[in-house]
Amino acid sequence: MVPIRLCVLVSGSGTILEAMLNAGLEVTLVAADRPCRGLDVARAAGITALLVDREKFGGFTASFDREAYTAELTRLLSEDRVDLVAMAGFGTIVTGTFHRVFPGRVLNTHPALLPDFKGWHAVRATLAAGATVSGCTVHVATEELDDGPILAQRRVEVFTDDDESSLHERIKTVERALYPEVIARVMASLAQGFEPESVAGTIEEI
């Protein structure tokens, strides 16, 4: 089978990246949009760590040039012959340029049972809606935020005394197990010539 070159996109502590490495995933490249611990995790593991800093494109201001940033990130990953991209808490929304170069090859994990509760504050919205069940979703990312084919979901019960922090922590625990499992299956699928959507349809309750 052809080796699959996996790039993980990070912005923060790198705990999801650590879970991937602990699960035995072979990561070729880690890229970040800001200086962060995730890059240190990559370097400590002997993985190429690439900082594509937003500051060079306007930072976190209204003048941020999203298209130029996306073009640079896309160019660098393409030059590294990346086959599959896994977003792991990546805090920058990229434009359609990225998805056209890596069509169907960008994965994401979201702390809710999509298609419900899309967006940055999914856990807060789950609690506000009075939902009794939440969870995490691994899906193929598209240009539309938190959209795209669902590959796997795992449910997490919402307790009556949960706040945003406690529920999110339990979801993260499940996410760190489920996401590496799905990525491994996707990489195996790609190595055999199948696309990521071929692993879709796994819903597990815990």
Helical packing angle, 37-44 and 15-22, nearest 10° = 20
User: What is d(CA 24, CA 77) in angstroms, rounded to the nearest whole number?
Assistant: 22
Q: Which residues are catalytic?
A: 110
Report which residue type is found at 36. C
Instruction: Read off the tokens for 153.
Output: 């979901």
| Neighbouring C-beta atoms of residue 5, cutoff 10 Å | 18
Give the long-range contacts of residues 181-189, CB within 8 A, separation 24 or more. 181/23, 181/152, 182/107, 182/138, 182/151, 182/152, 183/6, 183/20, 183/25, 183/84, 183/86, 183/107, 184/23, 184/24, 184/25, 186/84, 186/107, 186/151, 187/4, 187/6, 187/25, 187/26, 187/84, 188/1
Contact 138, 108 (CB under 8 A): yes
Q: Cα(127)–Cα(157) distance, rounded to whole angstroms?
A: 11
